[in-house]
Structure 1
């Protein structure tokens, strides 16, 4: 139903029955307190990668530092450290510096009273840079004294709305000061020199392994969270070699670069620092790259000694350096106020520069392959980094009275019991180690596929091979209760060159001729063709599609065919399984709607793309297997960064509540459980004030007295807490992870509020990342066991596989819907040739992300 129809029917749908009474509620914007820890499940001894932090100081002193002339942050650190070495009086205080403007000391600088400032001057030169004079101006910050005792108070009785940020920031800078000088800092991570351990991941990039460090406030004790960190760095290599890595076989330096090649190289080269050899006899200089210009060295002109010349001629005649590849574009480097053009062949990328761009699929695969280690090995790496960091030998930490434990924190967790899953004919299955079988089971609500077509984009895969795969798919469907007819046709197109594929035309022709329920699309490989097909099917044509790789067709194994059937059944409105009454959480026995929400943001360098939010909600009150969705496109205000908040959440919630009401015999949900993905701790109160209010407003907009009980949880996966079994006999699988269902809600959890870490999936590769849940609001006064069991059980309702997944199905679906919309938008930009420095109109972006297909098209 379109938005206009929903608005018109709202008055008729939500009308209270005469006997209904609604109690007015007053809401507090403060997370509920934990009343008790959970008790369900068997106990298990665990180790967490949190290390106790003992704090002996009660106050520190804050000063502002201004360094002139301006310099980048890493360079400021080195200038500051050089100045401290030259000033013995200041050095004895062991001051620490954050590389921007904040300096802290453990003792007050009595020679620097309020209103006065100290000036330090020095001469300093970076490698390959000329020597310059720098001035440091130091003065008291306001306030100067920073009280540290609120940290110790917080770990005893703290609340999210009163985090002692100034004290935490001060100690964080203390702990980071020396590592930032010894290692390469990237955000909160530190990367030692890799030596001969460097791992090439392709594309001119290499994998560096370091450690992550952050202060965490657990029960009665502040701690440092230490974890392994992995980052892609640009390989130190000649720029010509970097071009070859980026462009592959298409790169021919003799011919120069085509426009698309220059754009691809520009994406990787912008802002990189390069070393430039000035002629055969000249010295070396370093510059930051602005971009590759369109002109080659042969054509680019500038003024030298009062007359116009080309870059090629200047290097040949003046610097006695004939260019080998004059047809390549020049690098524009240095100040943007100047036009300094340098031939690419004379430049080399400087070592130690992190890659901030999005990695390619092969690079990501290589990263995973080289970083996914069993849990016990990861713990050993973490303990090794703690020894390498030498926290307790750092004179700055000693000066400030900080001491870090040598051993990680021990904690008692629990392994929750697995739910009993319900299939057709009341058959049930109980997962073991997060996995279960469909053998002799039929889907709870199996749909038939009577009219469908195969669209084969891989010229290597012959029709006979496709039909063999189809036979296996039909057999697998029959075993799970789906009746899958023979496909109406196998349409073959050449999808080798993505830019020559017209997926809209292909799907429109199939739709108009066959009017199929589904088109199964065979793709040659993982590339942009997937986005092109999904953009065409979901948005342009309104044709439901399911994609499969050609190598999957060739392999043709039964388990893959069954997995595809699960996806198709969900897309067509069926339900694969549900929770059996014996283990169904009691809170689901009254009408409950479960929401999931997520927001995806564009990369920082792509200003032409909006943020995209997705909101999904369970529409079947019995099994919570079918979900409706809304996709919301939101643009940041001019000059501001993308916002995590969902701007139009009220409308999305309101419309989904109406869908639930219609599909459940005009039953209103009495409870709302909302899983909100992707919110950081610093945004908790902002979410509560903005999004929780919108959920309430959506309810009262339908009916003034409609006030269902709301439980609002934040789902966090981007954190660095890891759990390890203290006894290897308690581990699960080859990766030696903790078993699925492992939950921790004490010691490393919030001191007073209801939060918990849950490992709900079996870690197949690498170390399992627990998902962190934090309850921001709860009208139902649920216990820890109520919420932990509900969360864990909903991780078994994801329709793609017969495994419990890492987060509840609704938040997983919201994530998929948001990223599918992002793929639609990217495809729209590609098809319409809108570059990174351009922007689609809001109307175009909204249309590009608005699907025409069935509710669960994103599965």
Structure 2
């Protein structure tokens, strides 16, 4: 039997758990071509954007393609089900007719078409049946079908990637921005079938309003009159927001052509004093418009926009062209409004997806008809199972020391942490004045926190730590060093923790505290927003206790050892890895890679390793060294070498599987060999994907749904919508708070440990109950969650002037990055 895949092959299907039937947002392709598809290369000159390419191609197909419904990807590739009758090549001229509205004369483009390939679709059928391994021909065949389903919508709607957007039902956000509903569609291979995955996506667009009204909204003013005195800071903000925005002018009357322009910047002066030269004479914009167009400007106090060739346009004659994406970062209010738009219960989301199917209207699509391509209009129903929750243990002195959580949730009532840490050397840094945060209020909060921690099983001999008020505006490093010294002097021992009270909006301050304490001082910190200290609530203090306990080496709870036999039977290390990249536009910010690894037989305690990396490559270049560090720490902690490695890897797309498999598994093996040439632990390498569009919908919410209408915690799917033959599964491990839950997708690239479907699915699910800082099952396996937290924390380690910029709370800039103190890396400082 030939090897159909280089990755892990499915060892069978899982059987454990309560069976349920669910709907998923997959629609079965009931027929697609089995004959060869003809591939042509197309070159259009002069070169233009894809949107105009499509228009040129459409005109050409209407006039020159003999009734053949060809499909086009907007760039270079054209596909047909029947060959063009002109043979293998043709050149033709395509004329875009004149456009009276924009005074555009007819434009002539040259088009060259050349046949380059035939795609064997029969091979796709063999692949789906598990009779053929993946090949470039199969990938191309599936890609062609993706071009087919996107061809018609991309002509009728605004398309970005695999999503098209419609302003039907759009909703206004603050700041001149509105949210549009988008529909994602992608073809996925599944056992014996192809399916279309359809999901919702929303994004922000500029409102197609008058430019003046847009400016009023961006600057959050009540009316134009409030713009008579625009501060320089507001002008800079406005210029940043309007740069590259497309506008059209209205001062020539309704019948005149609407000329379009792109804003490059704003003038520093209002229209009344913005001067330029006409026929050798200097004139201001207001006078020019009065003289030339007989138009008296209403708002001469507003700056002008500058467009091509340094032309000045008064804002009041400009309107915003519709359908322009808002590419800037949304503010907190806009994010909240966006979440409100996108947050909807599963039943509503399913209804909206079905609406999207009606908009797509596959049945009336003449291109699909020519390709004999048909799609079911019903969501796919699949078999799922609800895995049983594991048994959790707290300290034996607890009233409720052993229990099985219900619905993925539990609380700390009647429970003491499994191993309580001792906190003897600590201090409190209050970032604010004593007038704002009186010493008595701070002491009351600390008293409640200490009582809660002691009731939960921690040992805190020093109940009255020193309290120092610090300036939140500057000198943070110096303040923290003073607090650290005071803690050590007070307890006559090395400080273990600095408790930091922050103003309620302390993002930049928080980042600086973590940078200083993680990379310079080497002490754990616990930050608390000041709003929580005014009224000390016990449940809040209990959540803080969970974090402090594990930061100091304690253990909150653990899973019954019999339910994680893979870890408990032989020395085993569980690793999680993540790479985060800078946001678009942050050129000087590096990528950050992190690996975390379990340090005990309960997979409760973790250590971390971090690397700051230039470039945006997904493969972790220093993985061998990082794994070596963690294996050494495991040996120092447990006294034994791990015999098995279970490695969960976040953030890898399917196109990167091969390179990650080859390079990162080799790096793990190299790390083992460098410690001992005979040391060869067995490795299982699993990719964890969160950014996908698969969603689950319970058919009977009364029986199989949770309180939010989602499928219950522990829902696992390993058939119908998974890979045709590779070892993957979807696991919805967490209970939903609101909206629809997103299951995690686990895909096994290598398995030397011989997992079957049940053993890996159950272990993965049970581990989701082991996340240290909350009393609920989490959405992805904890080592990956921890690696993500480590990456996020490392964003704060840039030092330099960037902290003074409120728009860059994540340390953007070319500043140097600090290194976490080695003693902290062996603890869960990142929780």
TM-score, normalised via structure 1 length:
0.87
Note if contact 2:518-2:820 (Cα within 8 Å) is conserved in structure 1. no
Confirm or deny: 8 A CA contact 2:685 2:749 kept in the other structure. yes
Match of 2:613 among 624, 628, 634: 634
What residue number does 1:205 align with? 177
Aligned pair 1:586/2:554, yes or no? no
Which residue is equivalent to 1:623?
602
Is residue 2:86 matched to residue 1:103? no
Matched residues in 1 for 2:78 and 2:58: separation?
12
**What is the CA deviation profile of residues 380-422 of structure 1, one whole-angstrom value per residue up to 9, with x for unaligned ones?**
2212221222111111111111111011111111111111112
Query: What is aligned with 1:20?
Result: none
Provide the rounded CA distance (Å) in 2 between the counterparts of 1:564 and 1:616.
22
The residue number in structure 2 matching 1:533 is: 513
Alpha-carbon deviation of 1:815? 0.8
For the structure 1 residues 262 and 827, does the alpha-carbon distance in structure 2 shift closer, same or farther, using more than 3 Å as the test? farther
Deviation at 1:317, TM superposition (A): 5.0
Matches within 5 A, 1:163-202: 164-194=138-168, 197-202=169-174
What is the root-mean-square deviation in Å for CA atoms of aligned residues? Answer: 3.1
Helix, strand or coil at the partner of 1:425: coil
Q: Closer, same or farther in 2 for the Cα pair 1:131/1:793, shift >3 Å?
A: farther
> For the structure 1 residues 299 and 850, does the alpha-carbon distance in structure 2 shift closer, same or farther, using more than 3 Å as the test?
farther
Aligned mates of 2:586, 2:559 — CA distance in 1: 43
- How far residue 45 of structure 1 moved from its aligned partner, in angstroms, is 0.9
Q: Is the 8 A contact 2:22 2:697 kept in 1?
A: yes
Classify 1:292/1:768 alpha carbon distance in 2 versus 1 (closer, same or farther; 3 Å).
same
Counterparts in 2 of 1:811 and 1:501: CA distance versus 1, 3 Å: same
Give secondary structure in 2 for the equivalent of 1:237: coil
Aligned-residue offset at 1:736: 0.8
Moved more, 431-440 or 347-356: 347-356
Q: Which residue number corresponds to residue 760 of structure 2? A: 787
Between the aligned partners of 2:664 and 2:267, the Cα distance in structure 1 is 45
Please give the alpha-carbon distance, in whole angstroms, between the structure 2 residues aligned to 1:324 and 1:464: 58
2:728 aligned residue (755, 758, 761): 755
- Within-5 A mapping of 1:366-377: 366-377=337-348
Aligned counterpart, 1:420: 391
1:62 aligns with 2:62: no
Match of 1:447 in 2: 421
Deviation at 1:120, TM superposition (A): 2.1
Asked if 2 retains the 8 angstrom alpha-carbon contact of 1:519 and 1:545, the reply is: yes
Answering whether residue 91 of structure 2 is matched by residue 114 of structure 1, we say no
* Superposed displacement of residue 832, structure 1: 7.8
Q: 1:431 to 1:38 in 2, by over 3 A?
A: same
Q: Distance in 1 between matches of 2:479 and 2:821?
A: 20
Classify the secondary structure of the residue corresponding to 2:561.
coil
Q: Is the 8 A contact 1:275 1:349 kept in 2?
A: yes
CA–CA separation in structure 2 for the residues paired with 1:597 and 1:672: 13
1:32/1:333 CA distance change after superposition, 3 Å? same
Kindly state the Cα deviation for residue 356 of structure 1 after the two structures are TM-superposed: 2.8
Q: Distance in 1 between matches of 2:817 and 2:134?
A: 35
Q: Which residue of the other structure, out of 541, 544, 553, is the alignment partner of 2:533? A: 553
Instruction: Spell out the pairing of 1:393-472 with structure 2 (5 A cutoff).
Output: 393-425=364-396, 427-450=401-424, 451-457=426-432, 462-472=438-448
Question: How do 1:119-130 and structure 2 match up within 5 A?
Answer: 119-123=93-97, 125=99, 128=102, 130=104
**Counterpart residue number, 1:10:** none
| Corresponding position of 2:661 | 688
CA contact (8 A) 1:578 1:623 kept: yes
The 1:581–1:253 alpha-carbon spacing in structure 2 relative to 1, beyond 3 Å, is same
Structure 2 residue 753 is matched with structure 1 residue 774: no
How has the CA–CA distance of structure 1 residues 132 and 651 changed in structure 2, closer, same or farther, with 3 Å as cutoff? Answer: farther
Contact persistence 1:148–1:167 (CA under 8 A): yes
User: How many residue pairs align between the two structures?
Assistant: 809
Residue 207 (structure 2) pairs with residue 231 (structure 1): no
Counterpart CA distance in 2 for 1:417 and 1:210 is: 36
Once residues 417 and 553 of structure 2 are traced to their aligned partners in structure 1, the CA distance between those partners, rounded to angstroms, is 12
Matched, 1:286 2:260: yes
Contact 1:614 1:629 in 2 (8 A): yes
- 8 A Cα contact 1:154 1:163, kept in partner: no
Verify the 8 A CA contact 1:633 1:849 in the aligned structure 2: no
1:542, 1:853 within 8 Å by CA — same for their partners in 2?
yes
C-alpha separation between the residues in 2 aligned to 1:828 and 1:412? 56
The CA distance in 1 between the partners of 2:618 and 2:71, in whole Å, is 32
CA distance in 1, matches of 2:733, 2:81: 44
Contact 1:155 1:218 in 2 (8 A): yes
Deviation of the 1:559 alpha carbon: 2.1
Q: Following TM superposition, by how much is the alpha carbon of 1:747 offset from its aligned partner in structure 2, in angstroms?
A: 1.1
Distance change >3 Å, CA 817–CA 682, structure 1 → 2: same
- Which residue is equivalent to 1:639? none
CA distance in 1 between counterparts of 2:820 and 2:227 reads 39
Measured in 2, the distance between the counterparts of 1:302 and 1:91 equals 55
1:216 counterpart = 2:188: yes
For 1:443 and 1:575, the matched residues in 2 are separated by 7
Alignment partner, residue 491 of structure 2: none
* Equivalences for residues 447-526 of structure 1 within 5 A: 447-450=421-424, 451-457=426-432, 462-484=438-460, 485-493=462-470, 495=472, 500-515=473-488, 516=495, 517-525=497-505
Deviation of 1:582 after TM superposition, in Å, equals 2.9
- Cα deviation, residue 547, structure 1: 2.1
User: How many Å separate the matches in 1 of 2:539 and 2:179?
Assistant: 34
Aligned-residue offset at 1:687: 0.8
Partner of 2:492 in structure 1?
none
CA contact (8 A) 1:733 1:764 kept: no
Query: Which residue, out of 33, 57, 65, partners 1:90?
Result: 65
Residues 627-678 of structure 1, C-alpha deviations (whole Å, 9 max, x = no match): 2112211112xxxxx222212111111111111111112x111111111101
CA distance in 2, matches of 1:99, 1:430: 55
Task: For residues 735-779 of structure 1, give each alpha carbon's deviation from its aligned partner in whole angstroms, at most 9, with x where no partner exists.
Answer: 111111111111111111100000000012011100000001111
Comparing 424-433 with 234-243, greater Cα deviation is found at 234-243
Q: Which consecutive unaligned segments of at least 5 residues does structure 2 have?
A: 489-494
Tell me, what secondary structure is at the counterpart of 1:217?
strand
Structure 2 residue corresponding to 1:740, chosen from 682, 688, 713: 713
1: distance between equivalents of 2:100 and 2:794?
Answer: 46
1:797 pairs with 2:776: no
For 2:547 and 2:371, the matched residues in 1 are separated by 57
With normalisation by structure 2, the TM-score equals 0.90
Name the SS of the counterpart of 1:743 in structure 2.
strand
User: Is the contact made by 2:429 and 2:480 (CA closer than 8 Å) also made in structure 1?
Assistant: no
- For the 8 Å contact 1:182–1:192, the answer to whether it is kept is no
Shift in Å, 1:218: 0.5
Counterpart in the other structure of 2:58: 81
Q: Relative to 1, partners in 2 of residues 1:313 and 1:505: Cα closer, same or farther, differing over 3 Å?
A: farther
Q: 1:179 to 1:849 in 2, by over 3 A?
A: farther
State the 1:434 CA deviation. 0.4
Contact persistence 1:710–1:777 (CA under 8 A)? yes
Deviation, structure 1 residue 519: 1.9
Aligned pair 1:846/2:823, yes or no?
no
Structure 2 Cα separation of the partners of residues 345 and 694 of structure 1: 61
Deviation at 1:153, TM superposition (A): 1.8
| Greater alpha carbon shift after TM alignment, 281-290 vs 788-797 | 281-290
